[in-house]
C-alpha cells in the first residue's frame, strides 16, 4: 500500500497541469484546483490505453507539466554544491536528463490519480514571497489520509512547481541525498550519463525519430 501511494503522490506532481497562461493573479490553490480538473479530463477513459502506450503517456504528461515546472531551479537545488562545480554543458545535460528520468520514473503515479481523492487545503502562504507552499491531503485506498505539499516559486509573475513533499519528505531532498552519494562515489559526468540512459525511449528499435528526445521537448 505504501509503495503504491508513493507512486501516486509522486505522480500527483504532474497534476499541476495548466496551459502556459499567466497565473500570478491566482493563488497556488487556484492553480491546483484547475489542474485537477485538467488531469481528470486528460485521463478519462484512457488509462488502460495509456498504460500500454508509454510514449503517449510521457507526451501527455510532458506537454502539460513542462510549462508549469521550473526544471532549472529544481535541478540546481538537487545538485546543491555540485551545481557550482559543473560547467555550462554539464548543467544543461543534467537539467534535461534529471527531468526526463523523473518524468518516466513517476509516470505510473499519474495513471493512479483520482480526482475525488485530493483535498486542497486553505492556502495560508504569503503571495508576496518568491516561494510558497500549497497543501493538500490525499486519501488512500484504505481510507487513510496523507499530506502532500507542493512548493511553488514565482518566475516572471507566474507560479511554477519545483518540489513535492509527501508526509514531510521532500523529493528534492531525497534526490539531493541520493545523487550526492552517487557523485561522490563516481562523478557528476557518470551520474548524468546514467540519467540520460534512463531517459531513453522505452523502445529504441523504432525509426530514427524514436532516438530523439521526445520527453522534454524544445
Q: What is the pLDDT of residues 115-150, one digit of tens each?
A: 899 999 999 999 899 999 999 999 988 999 999 999
- Per residue in 63-80, pLDDT (tens digit) is 777 777 899 999 999 999
pLDDT at residue 12 tops 60: no
Number of domains into which the chain is organized: 1
* In-domain check, residue 212: no
* In-domain check, residue 214: no
The number of beta carbons lying within 10 Å of the beta carbon of residue 212 is: 8
**Distance in angstroms (rounded) separating the CA atoms of residues 197 and 183:** 16
What are the cell numbers at 191?
Answer: 551520474
Residue with cell 530523439: 212
Range of the domain at 87: 2-203
Within 42-194, strands assigned E span: 118-120, 131-139, 145-155, 158-166, 169-170
**Distance in angstroms (rounded) separating the CA atoms of residues 189 and 196:** 10
What are the cell numbers at 211?
Answer: 532516438
CATH of the domain at 56: 3.10.450.710
- Contact indicator for 183, 71 with CB cutoff of 8 Å: no
Mean of the per-residue pLDDT values for the chain? 82
The whole-number average pLDDT for the span 31-39 is: 78
What are the cell numbers at 145?
Answer: 489520509
Question: How much is the pTM?
Answer: 0.78
Beta-bridge partners for 165 = 149, 170
Q: Could you tell me how many residues make up the chain?
A: 218
Confidence of residue 18 (pLDDT cuts 50, 70, 90): very low
Confidence of residue 13 (pLDDT cuts 50, 70, 90): low
* In-domain check, residue 181: yes
pLDDT at residue 166 tops 60: yes
* In-domain check, residue 85: yes
Amino acid at each position: 500500500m505504501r509503495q503504491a501511494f508513493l507512486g501516486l503522490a509522486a505522480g500527483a506532481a504532474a497534476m499541476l497541469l495548466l496551459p502556459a497562461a499567466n497565473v500570478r493573479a491566482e493563488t497556488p490553490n487556484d492553480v491546483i484546483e484547475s489542474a485537477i480538473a485538467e488531469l481528470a479530463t486528460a485521463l478519462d477513459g484512457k488509462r488502460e490505453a495509456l498504460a500500454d502506450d508509454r510514449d503517449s503517456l510521457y507526451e501527455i504528461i510532458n506537454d502539460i507539466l513542462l510549462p508549469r515546472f521550473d526544471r532549472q531551479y529544481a535541478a540546481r537545488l538537487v545538485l546543491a554544491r555540485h551545481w557550482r562545480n559543473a560547467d555550462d554543458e554539464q548543467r544543461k545535460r543534467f537539467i534535461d536528463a534529471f527531468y526526463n528520468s523523473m518524468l518516466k520514473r513517476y509516470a505510473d503515479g499519474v495513471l493512479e490519480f483520482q480526482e475525488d481523492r485530493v483535498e486542497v487545503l486553505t492556502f495560508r502562504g504569503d503571495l508576496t514571497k518568491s516561494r510558497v507552499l500549497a497543501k493538500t491531503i490525499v486519501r488512500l485506498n484504505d481510507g487513510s489520509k496523507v499530506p502532500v505539499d507542493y512548493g511553488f516559486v514565482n518566475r516572471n509573475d507566474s507560479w511554477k512547481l519545483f518540489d513535492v513533499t509527501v508526509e514531510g519528505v521532500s523529493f528534492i531532498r531525497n534526490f539531493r541525498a541520493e545523487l550526492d552519494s552517487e557523485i561522490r562515489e563516481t562523478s557528476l559526468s557518470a551520474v548524468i550519463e546514467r540519467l540520460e540512459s534512463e531517459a531513453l525511449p522505452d523502445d529504441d528499435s523504432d525509426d530514427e525519430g524514436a532516438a530523439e528526445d521526445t520527453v522534454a521537448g524544445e
